[in-house]
Every structure is written in C-alpha cells, then in structure tokens.
Structure 1
Amino acid sequence: MPEAEIDSLAWIHVRDRRLLSVRTEGKAKFYLPGGKREPGEGDVAGLCREIRGPAPGREIAESAWLSSADAHLCPPAGRRMLGLLADTGLVD
C-alpha cells in the first residue's frame, strides 16, 4: 500500500552557502522550518502561520546553518534538500 501524501510547507533559506534548519526541544535532528498546511490554506498563509510560532510542544530549541556535510543531522527531507542545493552549487 502506498504511503499517504503529507501536504507540508518549508521555508528554504540559504545564507552564506548554508541552509537554515531548526531543532525542537527533545529532538536530535534538525528540520526545515515549516509544517503541515491547514485545509484550504494557501502556501504563503500556511508558511507564515508555521513560521510565526510552532505548535505547542514543538518549541524551537536551536537553529543552525547547515552545509551538505551536516546532512547526517537531518531527517530524509532535510538530507534531500541539502543534496539538491549542493548539486546546484547553492550550499557547500
């Protein structure tokens, strides 16, 4: 049975050849800022809602600027994005 699709949004912010990533309290992995879209919500509205404040229990403990060498610190979506950005020369 195929996996259910999750409709989520992420803020891809690159500065000085590094990707912004965050880690929530109690988690070891860094992820892309963003989250799941609410029903009927547009891209900009959903991303703004997610960036303004994480869901209760998902407080951001740390932010970091990661390179492709840091991919092991990320779950699959973050590793994929770092790889794509490195392939296009946008991150180290």
Structure 2
Amino acid sequence: MTTIDKIAWLRIEDGRLLGARSRGKDVYYLPGGKREPGETDLETLAREIGEELTVDIEPGTAVHVGTFEARAHGRTGGTVVRMTCYTADYRGTPAPAGEIDELRWLTYADRDRVSPVNRLIFDHLHESGHLR
C-alpha cells in the first residue's frame, strides 16, 4: 500500500469551507499539499497555502483538527491519502494561484463534489456543527 502524506488548511467562515479545484480536476480539494523532505506540518501548510492561495498563514495560530485517511481519488490499487488538517489565521486575500483554477466556499451539500478523504472531513465538520 502507498500512502500520500498531505497537509490541509481548513478555512471555515459562516459554516462554509474553502475548497480549491486544480486545473484539469473534476473534484474540489482542501487547500494544502504534500510535505517536502524535512518539512514540519506547519512549514508545509505555510508553503503550500502561499503557493496555492497567495496568502500568508500565521503558524502561531494553527490548531490541529484531525488526521483522516481514505483511498486516493483517481488512483488505482491501494493508494491511500493521509490528510492532516489545521485551522489557522492568515494575512492577505485568498486567490487561486499555481495549479489552482478555482476557489469556492463549500457546504455539506457539496460533499459529493470532493475527494473521498475530504468526504470524511466534511462528515466530521458537519457532525461537530462547523459545516452547514
């Protein structure tokens, strides 16, 4: 089994979660990405969010929400995604950059438009009253 280790930013406002759609993809993902060798979770979070959304994460405000695992979207075999999720404050205005084509505020009604691991996160946020 192959595991893809990813770090994600959970930005929730008014019961909606910020989602990103990458160029050529048919589902929304949570902003974030894969760790570079030697990076900590928070270093990965800050780098990826800066690259994808042009904002600066404030690492001192980061709170671990949970770690979730599910099969990888669009991959064959036993590939699994492990998504470690954080909330954090930021400076700037989120805008799509790099491979990101679109940003969208998602609600629980959008659950069928996200990857399998994100469905677990949507369920968790909905059950805890954070996602409407």
TM over 0.5: same fold? yes
Q: Distance in 2 between matches of 1:27 and 1:16?
A: 26
The answer to whether residue 61 in structure 2 is matched with residue 21 in structure 1 is no
| 1:20-44: CA deviation from partner (whole Å, max 9, x where unpaired) | 1000111110001001111210111
Which of these residues, 28, 32, 35, is aligned with residue 34 of structure 1? 32
Q: Distance in 2 between matches of 1:39 and 1:26?
A: 27
Q: Distance in 2 between matches of 1:82 and 1:24?
A: 19
Partner residue in 1 for 2:73 = none
Q: SS of the counterpart of 2:27?
A: coil
Q: Distance in 2 between matches of 1:12 and 1:21?
A: 9
| Structure with the bigger percentage of helix | 1
Q: Distance in 2 between matches of 1:25 and 1:4?
A: 24
| 1:9-60: CA deviation from partner (whole Å, max 9, x where unpaired) | 0001110101110001111100010011112101111111111114xxx611
| 1:60-91: CA deviation from partner (whole Å, max 9, x where unpaired) | 11111111110111011111111100000111
Q: How many residues align?
A: 87
Q: Which runs of 5+ in 1 are unaligned?
A: none
Deviation at 1:6, TM superposition (A): 2.1
| Structure with the bigger percentage of strand | 2
The one-letter code of the counterpart of 2:109 is: A
Q: SS of the counterpart of 2:44?
A: helix
Partner residue in 1 for 2:57 = none
Q: Distance in 1 between matches of 2:26 and 2:4?
A: 22
Length-normalised TM-score, structure 2: 0.62
Deviation at 1:5, TM superposition (A): 2.4
The one-letter code of the counterpart of 2:15 is: R
